[in-house]
Amino acid sequence: MDFDIIVVGAGPAGLSAAIRCAQLAKENKKNITICILEKGAKVGAHIISGAVLEPHALDELIPDWKAEGAPLHTPVTHDQFLWLTKKRAIPLPVPPSMNNQGNTIISLGLLCEWLARYAENLGIQIFPGFAATEVLYQDDAVCGVATGDKGLDKEGRHTERYQAGIELYAKQTIFAEGCRGSLTQQLFQRFSLRRHCDPETYALGMKELWEVPEEFHREGLVVHTIGWPLNTNTYGGSFIYHLHKRWVALGLVIGLDYKNPYLNPYEEFQRFKTHPLIAPMLEKSKRLAYGARALNEGGIQAIPKLTFPGGLLVGCGAGFLNVPQMKGIHNAMKSGMLAADSVYPLVQHEGHQECVAYEARIKTSALWKELYRARNIRPAMKWGLWPGLLYSAMDAYMLRGCAPWTFHVRTEDAQSLQKANLSCSIAYPKHDHKISFDITSSLDLAHIHHPENQPCHLHLKNKDIPTQVNLRDYAAPETRYCPAGVYEILVDVCGNPALQINSANCVQCKACDIKDPMQNIIWVPPEGGSGPNYGVM
Ligand SMILES: Cc1cc2nc3c(=O)[nH]c(=O)nc-3n(C[C@H](O)[C@H](O)[C@H](O)COP(=O)(O)OP(=O)(O)OC[C@H]3O[C@@H](n4cnc5c(N)ncnc54)[C@H](O)[C@@H]3O)c2cc1C
Ligand code: SF4
């Protein structure tokens, strides 16, 4: 299949890029063909975010979004920033980066569904349920992507559902896969895109959506917390967003540079909900959804080269998240729009040129200035919570992001785990099944569809490493950092341990691809349409 432009990923970045391209074609009375591939069963199925939206990019892309019925229902009315101890919640001044006046609390999944309808009305073809699994090259230029085969069994044999993957060709391919995109990782290697930047670092975000009683609901309230249950050497914090319909989005984000292999992010999240600030609100409430996803934390220092012949990177695939704000949607959208402005002139010509104008546009944009000002906050947290907060306050109030220095992070998250024998094990409280839950019941609320019989999409480079290194040295950290219980160590009758991979549980958060200490796990997209079906997350 031939197109002018292919977009890989129907998140805010990919949808904005495609919409802007179609708008430019309409303005110039040209016909161009644009398609978007999305691995989720429908647009929004794999989308998970907080989310507080900074709406400027949306205003610019679709100025009449209100009249068009965009699902922005909950303007932020009030911000709180709290330091949690085990029993108390102590209010702190809201840092400028966490001031959300003028922003809106949304479900990003619903916004993406709406953007997809808008895109289709502009003539863009969207193919949900199709994962791009291979980059296609002509000479040394990207000339498109191929989707994965469907209907293979565990051994790779064709079943009666078999459908061969499709090759899609385009003059320009926009990669909008979000954080730790699998094809994006390959492009980094192929074109040495990360040669001049810091390594990307990440966090794992877990989120639940609850319906709470009227008396606990304060529509428009945005709460961020730091401190308990995390210790002062572990970067992270929580968010509590009161949407409309008595919905409350609760989440915990933990930096994946944590050191203790016994730390279990999922259990930290369950424990967080037992805090006296939160538990009373949840006791008579109903949990509606659960999910998890990695976020970028490297900031501007970790942004790679963005272009290569025939294609470019947008959104969190490139790493445009503003870490102190914990906001990436507006930058994902804006980068998609700048990519469209840069790519559109190229598709008027044949060939797979490198879109050099894009990087220049990004570097002179407000997005770049915003990331530049935010650049030192996250690296300063390496010193621990209190020194990090002190530096952040100085950076925000006195230096205003214009310090004459830039901090760098030189290590990848995979290298940060210390050995188990140097670490303290952590005892987590039992689940009460009212506020805190086991992974199995959480996964029911992620609505995962994943045929058991399909090939395993979690590839081990070396099958012995999980037991001979990870188990021996790090007490099998994959059994804890995976928020979906995919990895288990089973012991056979002779007492020999082996790693079992329950790939059908995978919520596609990418934490294992990032955190495995030996970088032995390679995440590849499973059959298109598999995985969670979030919808409203
Ligand atoms: C817990 C959490 C809370 C957050 N809170 C906020 C917030 O409050 N405000 C804010 O602004 N930002 C927030 N963010 C960040 C925000 O969600 C991201 O910055 C934003 O979603 C990035 O958009 P994107 O389009 O680059 O990627 P994504 O939103 O990740 O979208 C990528 C899309 O591409 C698809 N895809 C990926 N690979 C392929 C492939 N190979 N083939 C086909 N399809 C593919 C995926 O299924 C997905 O639909 C939060 C993130 C998390 C995880
Ligand atoms: S297997 Fe990996 S990508 Fe899937 S849920 Fe677990 S950590 Fe996330």
User: How would you write 294-317 as a 3-class SS string?
Assistant: EEECCHHHHCCCCEECCEEECHHH
pLDDT at 431: 97
Ranges of the chain whose pLDDT falls below 70: none
203 falls within a domain: no
Cα 482 to averaged position of ligand 2 atoms, centre (Å): 5
* Partners of 83 in the β-ladder: 90, 226
Would you say residue 59 lies in a domain?
A: yes
Ligand 1 pocket check for 388: Cβ under 6 Å = no
Find the distance separating the first CA and the last CA of the chain, reported in whole Å.
32
Calculate how far, in angstroms, residue 328's C-alpha sits from the geometric centre of ligand 1. Answer: 8
Which DSSP helix (H) or strand (E) runs through 372?
helix 366-373
Supply the pLDDT for residue 506: 97
Instruction: For 127-163, give the secondary structure using H, E and C.
Output: EECCCEEEEEEECCEEEEEEECCEEECCCCCEEEEEE
Inside any domain, residue 135: yes
Distance between Cα 178 and ligand 1 center (Å): 5
> Considering the domain boundaries, does residue 168 fall inside one?
yes
Q: Which residue has the tokens 């409280």?
A: 429
CB-based contacts of 4, cutoff 8 Å, min separation 6: 32, 33, 34, 170, 171, 172, 347
Q: Which CATH number characterizes residue 338's domain?
A: 3.50.50.60
Q: Which ligand is nearest to the CA of 98?
A: 1
Helical pair 12-27 and 108-121, crossing angle rounded to 10 deg: 20
DSSP bridge pairs for 236: 254
**Number of domains the chain is built from:** 1
Residue 452: what pLDDT? 79
Q: Residue 235, SS3? A: coil
**Which ligand has the nearest atom to the CA of 319?**
1
Give yes or no for a contact between 59 and 337, defined as CB atoms under 8 angstroms apart.
no
The CA R_g of the chain, rounded to the nearest whole Å, is 22
Element (H, E) at 281: helix 279-283
d(CA 31, CA 3): 11
Phi, then psi, of 82 in degrees rounded to 5: -125, 145
Query: Which pLDDT score is estimated for 274?
Result: 97
327 within some domain:
yes
Nearest-atom index, ligand 1, CA of 178 = 27
**3-state SS class at 38:** strand
For residue 106, the ligand closest to its alpha carbon is 1
In sign, the C-alpha dihedral spanning 336, 339, 341, 343 is negative
Distance 316 CA to ligand 1 centre (A): 7
Q: What is the DSSP string of 418-445?
A: PPGGGS---PPPPP-SSSS--HHHHHHT
Q: Which amino acid appears at position 521 of this protein?
A: I
Which ligand is the nearest neighbour of the Cα of 44?
1
Residues, the chain: 537
Measured CA to CA in angstroms, residue 440 lies from 41, 360, 505 at distances of 21, 47, 9
Q: Report the Cα 289 to chain-centroid distance in Å.
A: 17
Q: What is the pLDDT of residue 535?
A: 81
CA 492 to chain CA centroid, Å, is: 36
**Greatest distance between any 2 Cα atoms in the chain:** 72
Q: Which helix (H) or strand (E) holds 282?
A: helix 279-283
Ligand 1 and 176: CB distance under 6 A: yes
| Ligand 2 pocket mutation pick from 264, 457, 460, 482 by most atoms within 8 angstroms of CB | 482
The Cα–Cα gap between 59 and 329 comes to 13
Asked if 220 and 258 count as a contact pair (C-beta separation under 8 A), the reply is no
| Domain assignment of residue 341, yes or no | yes
In contact, 237 and 389? CB cutoff 8 Å: no
Helix (H) or strand (E) holding 210: strand 202-211
Tens of pLDDT, residue by residue over 438-464, are: 999 999 999 999 887 899 999 999 999
CA–chain centroid gap for 162, Å, is 30
The predicted-structure confidence for 489-510, as pLDDT tens digits, reads as follows 999 999 999 999 999 999 999 9
- Tell me what pLDDT residue 275 has: 98
Q: What was the pLDDT predicted at 214?
A: 97
What pLDDT score was predicted for residue 27?
A: 96
Copy the structure tokens of residue 348: 């008027």
Quick check: is 323 in a domain? yes
Per the structure, the complete domain to which residue 307 belongs is given by: 2-66+109-198+300-373
Both tokens of 205, joined, read 């975000």
Indicate whether 275 belongs to any domain.
no
Its pTM stands at 0.97
- Please check whether residue 235 is in contact with residue 259, taking contact to mean a CB–CB distance below 8 angstroms: no
Q: Is 326 in the pocket of ligand 1 (CB under 6 A)?
A: yes
- Pocket test of ligand 1: the residue of 180, 290, 316 to mutate, having most ligand atoms within 8 Å of its CB, is 316
Helices (H) and strands (E) in the chain, counts: 16, 24
Q: Closest by alpha carbon to 256, among 500, 509, 525, 520?
A: 509
Residues 6+ apart with CB under 8 A from 497: 467, 471, 489, 490, 491
